[in-house]
Amino acid sequence: MNSISVRALLVRGMLAGLAAGLVALVVAYLLGEPRVDSAISYEDGHSHEHGAELVSRTMQSTAGLATGVLIYGVALGGIAALAVCVALGRIGRFGPRATAALVSLGALVAVYLVPFFKYPANPPSVGDPETIGKRTTLYFLMVVLSVLLAVGAVILGKRLAPRLGNWNATVAASVAFIAAVGLAYAFLPSVNEVPADFPATLLWQFRLAALTIQAALWGSFGLLFGHFAERLLSPRPIAVETAAHASAADDTTGTRASAPAAR
């Protein structure tokens, strides 16, 4: 793939990430923000210490949320577009649309789901402020491990495919990935700072909303970027069809024009 195509895919990936960010923003505003408000109400009712509010809650839930989600979408869209450039033609005989869908699914699993099951998202009122550095470090360590293990699983599957076949190689690589993730889960320390009296329903709804936001982001990105990549890299069927119609029209015109001369 030449540099022009990579640059064009990068731009389209960032645009698709922006559009996916808009979808995720709507989901976050409708599903996530009400749970955040409920968690803050719980914190206000159980804490007598109220510091100065540097940014109002209204600003956080509107402009702040939009800025964070959209920048996140654009950044991940660009990174995912580069990942599609690398994966295209190297993970199987998949076209741009299918490759984009597979990369998006893999990113959802490796970047979010695997770390989430070890260190699930918590509302703002959950967690000790003194351990936020430790919790952040553990979470990002799990993200890095998950991504590296996913890449290793893909490489393993490619190397096993000539001997085992595509299906068996995929199953073997998946089992190896799950086993390695299980070991990471076992060796990394757990974090459980949810207060005993915190509403279980609210915690479940918040985590489900967080999952839905990520699924909306990566799902919409995969569909949009797959469409953009397909149009950029595989425009030939439309061009060939147009040329065929034009050639047929020229042949018909030529035949009609030569008919009087033959008479």
Spatial separation of the C-alpha atoms in residues 230 and 178, rounded to whole Å:
32
Q: Give residue 44's pLDDT.
A: 65
Spatial separation of the C-alpha atoms in residues 147 and 139, rounded to whole Å:
13
In total, how many domains does the chain have? 2
Contact (Cβ atoms closer than 8 angstroms) between residue 81 and residue 12:
yes
Q: Give residue 168's pLDDT.
A: 92
Find the domain containing 183 and state its range: 127-193
Same domain? 97 vs 216 = yes
Q: Phi, psi at residue 65, to the nearest 5°? A: -60, -45
Do the domain assignments include residue 189? Answer: yes
Spatial separation of the C-alpha atoms in residues 227 and 234, rounded to whole Å:
10
Same domain? 77 vs 8 = yes
E-strand ranges in the chain read: none
Q: Give residue 17's pLDDT.
A: 92
Same domain? 180 vs 200 = no
Q: Map tokens 């299918």 to a residue.
A: 98
Q: Give residue 41's pLDDT.
A: 80
Residue numbers of the chain with a pLDDT score lower than 70: 1-4, 43-57, 61, 127, 235-263
Do the domain assignments include residue 181? Answer: yes
Q: Give residue 200's pLDDT.
A: 86
Do the domain assignments include residue 222? Answer: yes
Quick one: tokens of 218? 């990566």
- Is the pTM higher than 0.85? no
Buried/exposed code over 22-53 (b: 16+ C-beta within 10 A; e: otherwise)? bbbbebbbebbbebbebbeebbeeeeeeeeee
Q: Give residue 195's pLDDT.
A: 79
Helical (H) or strand (E) element with 132: helix 132-164
Q: Give residue 263's pLDDT.
A: 46
Spatial separation of the C-alpha atoms in residues 83 and 255, rounded to whole Å:
52
Same domain? 172 vs 200 = no
Q: Give residue 86's pLDDT.
A: 87
Same domain? 189 vs 206 = no
Do the domain assignments include residue 117? Answer: no
